[in-house]
Amino acid sequence: MRALYPLAAALLLLVSGCSTAAPPQPTASSTPSATSSPTPTPSGTAAGPTTDPGSGQGAGSGQGAGAPDDSGRFSYLCSSLDGVPDVTLSSLAEVWSSTGYLRLASCQARYEGPDPYEPTEDEARIISIAQPGVNPSDGLDAYLAALGLCTRVSDDAASELFGQSPRPLLRAASELCPRGPQGKIIALWASGARAADGTYPVSADGLTPGRFHLRKAPPEGCAWSVAGVDGKVKSTGGAAEGQSGITLAEKDVLTSDKCGIWEKIE
């Protein structure tokens, strides 16, 4: 029995030592105190992205993706078919959502700065389509023209604005705002599926071959002709024949006067 006392004493000492051991202290990287403050960001260093990637701002206007121009770099002076005073709008989105949008004749895009003009990546791409081979920094006028075509072009103004615009510029506008209200219409002009009054060859940068007709009954005095590759006139007519439809073959040339807009039907 006496032999058990030393063993019991040793066990009591061991238990006593374990129960009085000090608990581990938290390190500086463990739970922070309630009064601690975040580490300050050095002056001039951004704490994180300042622009919402989906906002279309920052890197460019977002036009290449068909998004409204909300970059603040451009404004739009718009005229109305109703003869009301011109109005200045701040973005394509504002033009498109205007309560008088369908009564707008056209809008002129203007650059608001900063100067000198340095195109964003999106803008440079559109300029390269509108004016191949031109230094994008020298292509502001081409970019403004493409923006103008993306605003609103009425049927009354289409012969001048769409019909007289070079195909590369129309392609640039089509690439710029494919989801705009007139995106599909611009694509038709850009593809050579529409023509206006004037002279239009059937070629890579002109009309596509096929059958065309007049979209609307033209005013009095409509006259048109189609010449072949040898320059000889193949067919002529007026409003009635134009509405029925004409066929344009490769290298034909369509000349139209006071007939309005032609559209490919097949």
pLDDT above 60 (res 114): yes
pLDDT, tens digit (0-9, with 9 covering 90-100), for 208-221:
999 999 999 988 89
pLDDT, tens digit (0-9, with 9 covering 90-100), for 41-93:
333 333 333 333 233 333 334 444 445 676 789 999 999 999 899 999 999 99
What are the structural domain ranges in the chain?
63-191, 193-266
Q: Sheet harboring 210-214: ordered strands across?
A: 194-195, 262-264, 210-214, 246-248
pLDDT, tens digit (0-9, with 9 covering 90-100), for 223-233:
999 999 899 99
* Spatial CB neighbours of 69, under 8 Å, sequence gap ≥ 6: 56, 61, 62, 63, 91, 92, 93, 147
Tokens of 261: 């807009």
pLDDT, tens digit (0-9, with 9 covering 90-100), for 126-172:
999 999 999 999 999 999 999 999 999 998 889 889 999 999 999 99
pLDDT of residue 70: 66
Q: What are phi and psi of 93, to 5 degrees?
A: -60, -40
pLDDT of residue 83: 87
